[in-house]
Amino acid sequence: MAIERDRTRAIPVLIFYLLTLAGIWYRYEPTWITFLPTAILLAGGFYLIYMGVSYKKKEGESYLYGLKPIVDKWPAVKRPEGHVKFRTKMLWTLGILIFYFFLTNVTIYGLGPTTLDLFSEFRAILAGHSGSLMHLGIGPIVTGSIIMQLFTGAKIINLDLTKSEDKAIYQGVQKILVLVMIFVEAIPQTFGYLTPSDKLVDMVGDGPAKMIIIAQLVYGSYLVFLMDEVVSKWGIGSGISMFIAAGVSQSIVTGSINWIPMGAETASKYNLPASVPSGTIPKTIYFLTHYRTPELAGGGFERIFLSPPNPIVALLSTTLIFFVVAYAESMRVELPLSHARVRGARGRYPIRLIYSSNIPVILMSALLANVNMFTLLLWSNPTLQNIPGIGHSKILGWYEPGATKPSGGLAWYMMRLNGLQSWLLPMLNWERYGVYVGDHQYWELILHIVVYLSLMIFGSILFAIFWIETTDMGPEAVARQIQSSGMIIPGFRRDPRVLKRVLERYIPQVTIISGAFVGLLAATADMIGTVGNTSGTGVLLTVGILIRLYEEIGKEQMMEMHPVLRGFFGGK
């Protein structure tokens, strides 16, 4: 069916596009080599705007339906036509995982030696690797998801995700938004932070050199998006989750058993000998074999158990998180089910304590990562720091030269607390450990703890609610799923409305508890610290991901044994 459009709306969009180009030309005086790619990118963005605003929508529809021609033709990984065998799914999953590790070791061509990593504090969560094709990681994918969820939840985007057409538009526009966010995150990082090497600049010039780096960032990040689709459609579980678990697991192993000396630069940072091993276990053995009893009593035990890097308390924290999450995953409310037509066919529908999985924590952490990135850009970027009101504003956040972590302002209060040295040790001995919190006062550190905990808990609750409503895990969607499988709750009529009322007694409440629990657990784990310089959030996510992956593998094997169950699990 042809889409009706108001062609007259192309005029103001075109005028605004030309004015934007004129402003860029007169403000920055770029060369044609850099100006033409910029004009082409902006043309694509304004074309999307025109496609949306020109759509003659009906009552109750969204302007996003104007993007339907693009959504329908957008390149995507083809879904399998029939059932994919378990062995094939495992091969696809392992193949993509190996390819991911391969890409993390492919360095960006032409990258200079002096670069700043804007996401250094969030590497474990964003599944990226600094300076490689995976530099952006899953950041653009998660950011696009956050924007779509917030806009849909706030009714800025008028879409009813219970309808199949609206849901298809939602998912299609989200794919387009991911590509937009790749450019939004790649371009600012290149202009001032991922600087090209002098050799590349001499060969092609400064502008083209930056374009080459941007092209590599875009290519690598879009590969991550396609790899996630391959795992979701042809493999087991989620590609995004698998990449997070892979990166965190690698860091935990190296942080625990790495016997390589930490080096002079890192050792001087923590006032340690350069020959001290980096890993927790070799480091502990080193102190016990090289220090005498008086030296251990005079501060050696404190360095072993509490002081960074990789103290024993971090290893114990990592182990504790594993057991807490494993126990929490086993807590559930099980609703009894029976088949409406087959006597004796019974089952249970589990509503887990962590019903929303770890997705809310991923979304919340990605949001904080973007806050950190944009405040750093506004503070130090030569162009953005001139924006009136928010540019180079100490209120939003200020940074020391060459630093990627905020030293003050609102961004500092929102920054994650990483390890005991960031809060507990200064509170116990301010004179000795106060250097870890800079020039801040005692009350400011208390406020930082309160703000960070509140953001993680309430932000995770909000994202948990949005996630449940947008992924067919709400009471109405689950009721339809149970109804379509031919199952009923014993003692209740076979009516989706009745099932919905029963599920509403559990799912909304468990969703809130789930979001609050994972938010609190992630924040607490961050505050205690973990081995391998990973975040507590990353370890929490990894444990949950591995448990879910194990269950997915078990479910896939069961479907191979009993093909009749495929319908209930959504298979073909």
Question: Which tens digits make up the pLDDT trace of 430-443?
Answer: 887 787 788 888 89
* pLDDT tier for residue 192 given thresholds of 50, 70 and 90: low
Least confident of 36-45, 184-193, 342-351, 414-423: 342-351
The pTM of the whole model exceeds 0.85: no
More confident residue, 463 or 300: 463
Q: Name the residue range of residue 22's domain.
A: 9-51
Report CA torsion sign: 204, 205, 211, 215. positive
287 assigned to some structural domain? no
d(CA 366, CA 526): 15
Q: Note the pLDDT of residue 298.
A: 65
* pLDDT tier for residue 414 given thresholds of 50, 70 and 90: very high
171 assigned to some structural domain? no
Q: How many residues does the chain have?
A: 572
312 assigned to some structural domain? no
Q: Note the pLDDT of residue 562.
A: 54
43 assigned to some structural domain? yes
The per-residue pLDDT of the chain, averaged, comes to 83
13 assigned to some structural domain? yes
d(CA 510, CA 529): 28
23 assigned to some structural domain? yes
561 assigned to some structural domain? no
More confident residue, 270 or 455: 455
In terms of Cα–Cα distance, which of 225, 230, 40 is closest to 140? 225
More confident residue, 193 or 261: 261
Q: Note the pLDDT of residue 15.
A: 94
Q: Give mean pLDDT, residues 353-381.
A: 84
Strands, sheet with 346-352, edge to edge from the N-terminal-most edge strand: 346-352, 332-339, 487-488
Burial 525-561 (b: 16+ CB within 10 A, else e): bbbbbbbbbbbbbbbbbbbbbbbbbeebbeebeebee
Percent of the chain with pLDDT over 90: 18
d(CA 570, CA 572): 7
Q: What is the dihedral of CA 204, 205, 207, 210, to 10 degrees?
A: 60
d(CA 230, CA 94): 11
Largest CA distance in the chain: 84
Percent of the chain with pLDDT over 70: 93
Q: Which of 79-83, 476-480, 511-515 has the highest mean pLDDT?
A: 511-515
Q: Note the pLDDT of residue 340.
A: 65
Q: Note the pLDDT of residue 345.
A: 61
Phi-psi region of 4 (alpha: psi -120 to 50; beta: other; left: phi over 0): beta
235 assigned to some structural domain? no
* CA distance readout (Å), 464 to 326, 358, 479, 501: 20, 9, 19, 20
Question: How many structural domains is the chain composed of?
Answer: 1
Containing 200, the helix (H) or strand (E) segment is helix 198-204
The residue written with tokens 């991550």 in the block is 224
Q: Is residue 197 helix, strand or coil?
A: coil
Residue 566's contacts (CB-CB under 8 Å, 6 or more residues apart) are 83, 559, 572
